[in-house]
Amino acid sequence: MEGAGGGGSGGGSGVSYQRFPRVRIREMKDEYMKFELRDTDASMANALRRVMLSEVPTIAIDLVEIEVNSSVLNDEFIAHRLGLIPLCSERAMEMRFSRDCDACDGDGECPYCSIEFQLNVRCDSDQTLDVTSADLHCHDHRFLPVDVAQRALAAEAAGGYDAPEQRGIIIVKLRRGQELRLRAIARKGIGKDHAKWSPGATVTFMYEPEIHINEELMETLTHNEKLSWIESSPTKVFDLDPKTDQVIVADPEAYTYDEEVIKKAEAIGKPGLVEIYAREDSFIFTVESTGAIPAYQMVMNAIEVLKQKLDAVRLSDDIQDNDDQFGDLTRNIQGAAL
Amino acid sequence: MDPQRSDRFQEDCLGNGAKVTLKSLAAPVKSQVDKFQLLPAFLKVRGLVKQHIDSFNYFVNSDIKKIMKANDLIVCPYEPSLYLRYTNVYIDEPSVEVDFVKEKLTPHQCRLSDRTYSAPIKVDVEYTMGNQVSKTLVQKKDVVIGRMPIMLRSSCCVLNGKDEAELARLGECPLDPGGYFIVKGTEKVILIQEQLSKNRIIIDADSKGRVTASVTSSTHETKSKTVFFMEKEKIYLQLNQFNKPIPVMVVMKAMGMESDQEIVQMVGRDPRYSSLLLPSLQECAGARIYTQKQALDFLEAKIRILVKSKLVNFDRAKSILFDVFLAHVPITKDNFRPKCIYTAVMLRRMMDAILNADTFDDRDYVGNKRLELSGQLVSLLFEDLFKSTNYAAVESMNKVYNKTSRSSPLDFLRFIRNDLITNGLEKAISTGNWDLKRFKMHRKGVSQVLSRLSYIASLGHMTRISPQFEKTRKVSGPRALQPSQWGMLCPCDTPEGEACGLTKNLALMTHVTTDEEEGPLISLCYSLGVEDLALLSGEELHASNSFLVIFNGLILGKHRLPQHFANAMRKLRRSGKIGEFVSIFVNEKQRCVYVASDGGRVCRPLVIADKGVSRVKEHHMKELQDGVRTFDDFLHEGLIEYLDVNEENNALIALYEGDAEPETTHIEIEPFTILGVCAGLIPYPHHNQSPRNTYQCAMGKQAMGNIAYNQWKRMDTLLYLLVYPQRPLLTTKSIELVGFDKLGAGQNATVAVMSYSGYDIEDAIVMNKSSLDRGFGRCICSVSRILDADGIAAPGEIIRNHDLFVNKHSPKIIRDQTKPGDLRATDYKPTPVTYKGPEGETTVVDRVVLTTDVNNKLCIKFLVRHTRRPEVGDKFSSRHGQKGVCGTIVQQEDFPFSERGICPDLIMNPHGYPSRMTIGKMIELLGGKAGVSNGKFHYGSAFGEPSGHADRVEAISETLVKHGFSYSGKDFIYSGITGYPLQAYIFMGPIYYQKLKHMVLDKMHARARGPRVTLTRQPTEGRSRDGGLRLGEMERDCLIAYGASMLIYERLMLSSDPYQVQVCRTCGLLGYYNHKLKTAVCSTCKNGDSISTLKLPYACKLLFQELQSMNVVPRLKLTEA
């Protein structure tokens, strides 16, 4: 896989900042992804993380017109809950922002920037009725609420069987005689404006740790000392080889930089038993998506957005006015780019 | 605790880490019994506000009958055979009569329609009907004499004994404790009033340093205060009815105690007493008073003229001694002996105090205090109103009787007005003014509007005790924490500022007693070997081998085996033969046994121990848990008993069963019950600096959350609700007991303790914008508005400033009452009601209620709602007195994050810790973090570690480590801005945060120009009037010192109230400008020759004119500038 287009063409008068980052995907599911990002620095990694959190566009309900609401929750409450329901947003990249859309006047009747949902539920039984995301109806099936779409897929696979205990994200509960009728418009947006548009549930990275065990010193420890030293780490980083009675690094990435093992080593009078560094050019990303877009798509979109942003900066130096506006900043970027 | 359970308990503590080892199995089975289950059982029978309800029940069920019995006869003074006698009184169920149909009232109806939740007081009467000649005796039942406001959940209330479903049907919250009244639609609490004990001797030093012995006597008939004091070694009596202090020996002689020897014997034969009495005896002899007659004559001269009496001279002094002096000591006819003995005992105690300063009484000692509850206060009021109703009936009877021509028969029933009692009670409770002329009682603020800001606020309001002193007194004694408050009054919950330490709150297990029948108890005392006072000579009274027995402040007699007597009484109490709240207290120092059954004493339950062994055993607790045993069973079987503050002095109470020694008589049920409701919310309060807990007690009442289950059916004037309230991750046992876990007021926020951005100085917090987007700290503010008439805004409508609420039309002519149909459209003028809210805030009409008020007029109530998300400047607080405003709101991507992807909801500056020393907050964070990791709620009850009601830090740390966190709660964090790791490990985890009611939106204010006051033409004051921001005196001083004269000129005049005046240079007075002639004229000089124009503040001009109106001539002398 190709890395992000950071850096630019390099060469020129200044030092080259050009790098060739590598990405290795460790694990990839629809809503979860773990990958390594190597040969770049924190600024790149962080930029990617920030963009994933706040600038990858998704679709979320933004405008709610309530016709009837005799439920226990008030209108704003329900509107807020509706907004936070993740909707399938694979098409979000192609869609227009409502503010940029010139095909409509923002009333939601526009195929380019908005999707209309209907919700019409009334409870007529004595049992409490849960109004869930499954009750949100939309003519376009590409924009279903995430959990509904997933279950539809699962049901297809299982042969039309729908687990009754999973009835979607609860919006409100109705009792006899209560009714909720509304029209909701979903729009494209980014997490910066409101967290409901953020596709990432968890987007985080860590520096890859480099663990060097001083084998010589380690051998001076007794079996019990080794065990207690291993135990001192809150996470399972080290293990004891049962055959050779040697301490081995079981899972370096479990290390949380807590330095407990180093403190422990000092406590038993063996400083330097282990040396742990953070590799400053290597990051392990964990990305979890809300389901709005698959984790993989989220990363790709983030790279795309990041590229666009960089392009915007690069393009801006064509216009002379920007020189006065950005001054040093533009010149620095130019210096690096040229 | 059985081994299985103790293992489970250990597992819980150590996070399932404990292993069953041989050692742990071989260890002796712990004998400690987990008595915690007693608490919910106690609260079930006694409840948090049970003292209010008990007191009101006592009034309604027994006291009201006593009052009626004491005033059951009204007789026509002209003809004694014409009378009315009350035979029975009772209170019906709450109802109203609408068009002669009885309609049941429910509390919630009353709240919504501004009515009083009251029930008719019905009496059975027999009375004579007829005229002067022929009379017939008539009996009548169910006569309504007035309406009594009913306390919610009392025995008269419709909610009494209802279960949750029934309560819900009545629109009532099952967690609402009741104990308040609903008067004219508002909920009113009658605060608990703290008072000094009535009818008890208090030895004290007064402001002049004199030793005094005083008794405030209080009976149904009279109230009086008797004071003895010692001045210049002589003892005097001070009584309001006498204008000068009376030598005590004169009083004794006036009561027939003519022999000095007997007086000395009564006080005690110890020569030290005699020598102290000598100067007083000498003074009496010096005044040549030897006989009762002489003494009474002497007293006669000292009577205050104010006392008007029809009695002849000689009898006046005697009647004062009979009725007023030590009024609570009952005497028959001319036998003053009980009062003599009482006086002697008072003197003896006084002299004890002189000889030994330790024997002074402490006014602040809780045992010397009584709490007056709503029942007693309402009873006082009712008695007064009942009497005046009867008096009014007699008055009108007199009027009618004297009339010559009468058509209707004379009967008292017609003259009994039922509005006196109804209005009197309603007015007193709704205004809080208790004015009883008979007792010279003029108390203000007795009742208050129940605070419904949060559930805890209303609970805290119900347990509040209002002080006896006025708040301005600058004394420290009554404000200090009293050791005797232990377990009775909360040591934390008191306001800051002027009422600090005076206003108190009840602890969790406190009960306040009600009066108990005295007669049977007195005869019981006699049959247990108390020697009657009447049979004792003065000499025998203080015999060295006997103790005095004092019952409710009355000397019954003496007992030779006081301890034996006390034990016998206690045994009877434990077996339920006498009331459980009777206290028996042996005072070795005073050589007295005090038996008390009066109302208003605070007491609390304790487990009884025999020789240090608890009577409550494991099987009892099991029975309790299985539901076959109730708290009352514990009480009746003598496993538990109530001790009041005085009796606690005879007990040795062990905190835990394990601490018990052979001498131990009682064991505490749970140590955390010394705290009250508000302090019970704090996790680990025993790890905090104590003032922090006090601050939290005040702030917990301002926190937003859920108010009650029926919160959406209510129409409160101001309602603050949290959108997503949570149950605290770190709970306490108290929280579960009071139901805070069901009606929370806060949210569990992940807090990082670190410095960030500089917008977090001075306790400000940095908040995560995404958290706010997702609903953290979101709240709903509702305001209710009441209008009276019609075109009404619909619920769900968005309403902005100046929008119309009600498009109302009202008739132009109000005077001539014509039928509504007669008026044509032109006769009406539009009087629309507009919404006045803050500009820019979009509010929504939540509910519209149409009701009729008491006068059957249409009344429209609006509830306007507004959802707010937190913004910069909103106030938040943790549960440890650590309040702070939101300093800035930051995007989530800029927030620090851990490699697990945890990102805090808010950031708190670490400087908040060192000076506040709130270790409890740190443990809360740890416990909360462990709680979210292993999916269970951790506990942090006060003093709970030994009994397992609070998790220990070691156990919490172990859980943390097991879930891959550092034992210290610190995390390795990356900066969200740069992506680099932070230099330090960050202490991060969930803390329960409360959103407080103070929000910027309600407070922010600025103005450039705006309204002015008409009189002075200066800008108005205050935010509500869009007022200006005052440049005050101190600011002015700064500007003067700095020399910025033009700035002062601009601020104080140009921007305020500039005014152009014409000043006459000759007379120096103000003239005027004649616009017709276009000249300025001086009205004093009658010309316009030397007029100057200058600018003045309008207020200055006003001052000159006001001075002139008071004949002061302010003349301006002008010089050329």
My answer on whether A129 and A244 are in the same domain is: no
CA distance A308 to B348: 98
Return mean pLDDT, chain B.
85
* Chain B residues lying within 8 Å of A77, measured CB to CB: 723, 780, 867
Structure token pair of residue B897: 């994050």
pLDDT higher than 60, residue B454: yes
pLDDT tens for B948-1005 read 889 999 999 999 988 989 899 999 999 999 999 998 999 999 999 999 999 988 888 8
Does B979 sit within 8 Å of A42, measured CB to CB?
yes
Q: Which helix (H) or strand (E) holds A156?
A: helix A146-158
More confident residue, B333 or B26: B333
pLDDT higher than 50, residue B11: no
Write the CB contacts of B929 (distance below 8 Å, at least 6 apart in sequence): B960, B965, B969, B988, B989, B990
Nearest CA of chain A to the CA of B958: how many Å?
A: 10
Judged on CB neighbours under 10 Å (0-12, 13-18, 19+), B366 is buried
More confident residue, A208 or B810: A208
Q: Name the residue among B771, B796, B979 with its Cβ closest to that of A66.
A: B796
Q: Name the residue among B796, B893, B980 with its Cβ closest to that of A53.
A: B893
Taking the domain B1005-1056, which CATH number applies?
3.90.1800.10
Instruction: Kindly indicate the confidence band of residue B537, based on its pLDDT and cuts at 50, 70 and 90.
Output: confident
Does B966 sit within 8 Å of A260, measured CB to CB?
yes
Instruction: Kindly indicate the confidence band of residue B355, based on its pLDDT and cuts at 50, 70 and 90.
Output: confident
Say which CATH number the domain at A115 has: 2.170.120.12
Q: Which helix (H) or strand (E) holds A132?
A: strand A129-132
Q: What is the mean pLDDT of residues B875-886?
A: 94
CA-based torsion, A130, A131, A137, A141: positive or negative: negative
Judged on CB neighbours under 10 Å (0-12, 13-18, 19+), B83 is middle
- State which of A173, A194, A215 marks the end of a domain: A194
pLDDT higher than 70, residue B812: no
Structure token pair of residue B868: 């707010």
Residues B685 and B942: beta-carbon distance below 8 Å: yes
Candidate CATH numbers 2.40.50.150, 2.40.50.180, 1.10.8.60, 3.40.50.720; the one for domain B779-868: 2.40.50.150
Which of A55, A62, A80 to substitute to test the interface with B, most B CBs within 10 Å?
A80
Nearest CA of chain B to the CA of A43: how many Å?
A: 6
CA distance B599 to B57: 13
More confident residue, A196 or B77: A196
CATH class of this structure's domain B51-190+373-441? alpha beta
Say which CATH number the domain at A250 has: 3.30.1360.10
My answer on whether A96 and A189 are in the same domain is: yes
Least confident of A199-203, B433-437, B768-772, B857-861: B857-861
My answer on whether A145 and A170 are in the same domain is: yes
Residues B226 and B234: beta-carbon distance below 8 Å: no
pLDDT, position A8 = 42
pLDDT, position B1103 = 95
The DSSP 8-state label assigned to residue B1054 in this structure reads I
- State which of A163, A194, A225 marks the end of a domain: A194
Domain extents in chain B: 51-190+373-441, 201-366, 689-709+724-776+872-995, 779-868, 1005-1056, 1058-1121
Does A49 sit within 8 Å of B979, measured CB to CB?
yes
pLDDT, position A97 = 85
pLDDT tens for B823-837 read 566 666 777 777 776
| Amino acid (1-letter code) at residue B887 | G
CA distance A131 to A136: 9
Look-up of token digits 């004093």? B1084
pLDDT, position A9 = 42
pLDDT higher than 80, residue B151: yes
Is A150 a member of any domain? yes
Domains B1005-1056 and B1058-1121 share a fold: yes
Write the CB contacts of B15 (distance below 8 Å, at least 6 apart in sequence): B930, B934, B955, B956, B958, B959, B962
pLDDT tens for B703-745 read 999 999 988 888 888 889 999 999 999 999 989 888 899 998 9
Shortest CA distance from B770: residue in chain A: A195
Structure token pair of residue A336: 């690096």
Judged on CB neighbours under 10 Å (0-12, 13-18, 19+), B317 is buried
Write the CB contacts of B1088 (distance below 8 Å, at least 6 apart in sequence): B1071, B1074, B1079, B1080, B1081, B1082
Q: Calculate ∠ Cα B783-B786-B788, nearest 5°.
A: 160
Is A15 a member of any domain? no
Is A328 a member of any domain? no
Judged on CB neighbours under 10 Å (0-12, 13-18, 19+), A99 is exposed
Is A329 a member of any domain? no
| Amino acid (1-letter code) at residue B391 | Y
Judged on CB neighbours under 10 Å (0-12, 13-18, 19+), B359 is middle
pLDDT, position B1078 = 85
CA distance B369 to B512: 11
pLDDT higher than 80, residue B492: yes
DSSP string of B130-178?
Answer: E-SS-EEEEEEEEEEEEEEE--TTSTTSTTTT--HHHHHHTT--TT---
Q: Name the residue among B846, B965, B972 with its Cβ closest to that of A74.
A: B846
Nearest CA of chain B to the CA of A161: how many Å?
A: 32
- Work out whether strand B906-908 and strand B765-768 pair parallel, antiparallel, or are unpaired: antiparallel
Residues B41 and B15: beta-carbon distance below 8 Å: no
Is B633 part of the annotated catalytic residue set? no
My answer on whether A212 and A180 are in the same domain is: no
Nearest CA of chain B to the CA of A155: how many Å?
A: 30
Least confident of A146-155, B501-510, B567-576, B897-906: A146-155
pLDDT tens for A245-254 read 888 888 888 8
Catalytic residue (one of B124, B716, B763, B853)? B763
Residues B103 and B97: beta-carbon distance below 8 Å: yes
My answer on whether A132 and A84 are in the same domain is: yes
| Amino acid (1-letter code) at residue B320 | I
Does A278 sit within 8 Å of B891, measured CB to CB?
no
Quote the number of domains for chain A.
2
Is A75 a member of any domain? yes
CA-based torsion, B964, B969, B972, B978: positive or negative: positive
Interface residues on A facing B, Cβ-Cβ cutoff 8 A: 42-43, 45-47, 49-50, 53-54, 66, 69, 72, 74-77, 80, 84, 191-192, 194-196, 198, 202-207, 234-235, 254, 256-258, 260, 278, 286, 288
pLDDT, position B813 = 61
Of B905, B844, B849, residue with least CA distance to A78: B844
The DSSP 8-state label assigned to residue B358 in this structure reads G
My answer on whether A224 and A144 are in the same domain is: no
Judged on CB neighbours under 10 Å (0-12, 13-18, 19+), B20 is exposed
% of chain A with per-residue pLDDT over 70: 84
My answer on whether A100 and A114 are in the same domain is: yes
pLDDT higher than 70, residue B811: no
Please state, as a whole number, how many other Cβ atoms lie within 10 Å of the Cβ of residue B633.
15
pLDDT tens for B558-573 read 888 888 888 999 989 9
Shortest CA distance from B779: residue in chain A: A77
Report yes or no: B976 at the A interface, CB cutoff 8 Å. yes
CA distance B376 to B555: 25
* Chain B residues lying within 8 Å of A256, measured CB to CB: 899, 964, 966, 971-972
Sheet holding B211-218, edge to edge: B201-205, B211-218, B223-231, B234-238, B246-247
CA distance B174 to B455: 12
My answer on whether A63 and A181 are in the same domain is: yes
Does B979 sit within 8 Å of A54, measured CB to CB?
no
3-state secondary structure of B907: strand
My answer on whether A159 and A238 are in the same domain is: no
pLDDT, position B404 = 61
Is A330 a member of any domain? no
Does B899 sit within 8 Å of A74, measured CB to CB?
no
Is A238 a member of any domain? yes
The DSSP 8-state label assigned to residue B815 in this structure reads S
Nearest CA of chain A to the CA of B970: how many Å?
A: 9
Write the CB contacts of B256 (distance below 8 Å, at least 6 apart in sequence): B292, B334, B336, B337, B340
Nearest CA of chain A to the CA of B901: how many Å?
A: 5
Nearest CA of chain B to the CA of A175: how many Å?
A: 14
Q: Name the residue among A45, A75, A256 with its Cβ closest to that of B972.
A: A256
pLDDT, position A2 = 43
My answer on whether A67 and A184 are in the same domain is: yes
**Domain membership of residue A279 as a residue range:** 22-55+202-311
DSSP string of B288-355?
Answer: T--SHHHHHHHHHHHB-TT----S-HHHHHHHHHHHTTTTTS---TT--HHHHHHHHHHHHHHHHHHH
Candidate CATH numbers 3.20.130.10, 2.40.270.10, 3.40.50.150, 3.40.30.10; the one for domain B689-709+724-776+872-995: 2.40.270.10
Is A2 a member of any domain? no
pLDDT, position B1098 = 94
Give me the CATH topology for the region B201-366: 3.90.1110
% of chain B with per-residue pLDDT over 70: 91
Interface size between A and B, measured as CB pairs under 8 A: 96
* Chain A residues lying within 8 Å of B980, measured CB to CB: 42
Report yes or no: B893 at the A interface, CB cutoff 8 Å. yes
CA distance B931 to B924: 10
- End-to-end, the C-alpha distance of chain B in Å comes to 96
Structure token pair of residue B811: 């008739």
* Chain B residues lying within 8 Å of A258, measured CB to CB: 966, 972, 985
Homologous superfamily of B1058-1121 in CATH? RNA polymerase alpha subunit dimerisation domain (3.90.1800.10)
My answer on whether A258 and A275 are in the same domain is: yes
More confident residue, B938 or B133: B938
* Chain B residues lying within 8 Å of A175, measured CB to CB: none
My answer on whether A77 and A141 are in the same domain is: yes
- Work out whether strand A58-69 and strand B1079-1081 pair parallel, antiparallel, or are unpaired: unpaired
Shortest CA distance from A202: residue in chain B: B901
pLDDT higher than 70, residue A5: no
More confident residue, B918 or B248: B918
Residues B93 and B106: beta-carbon distance below 8 Å: no
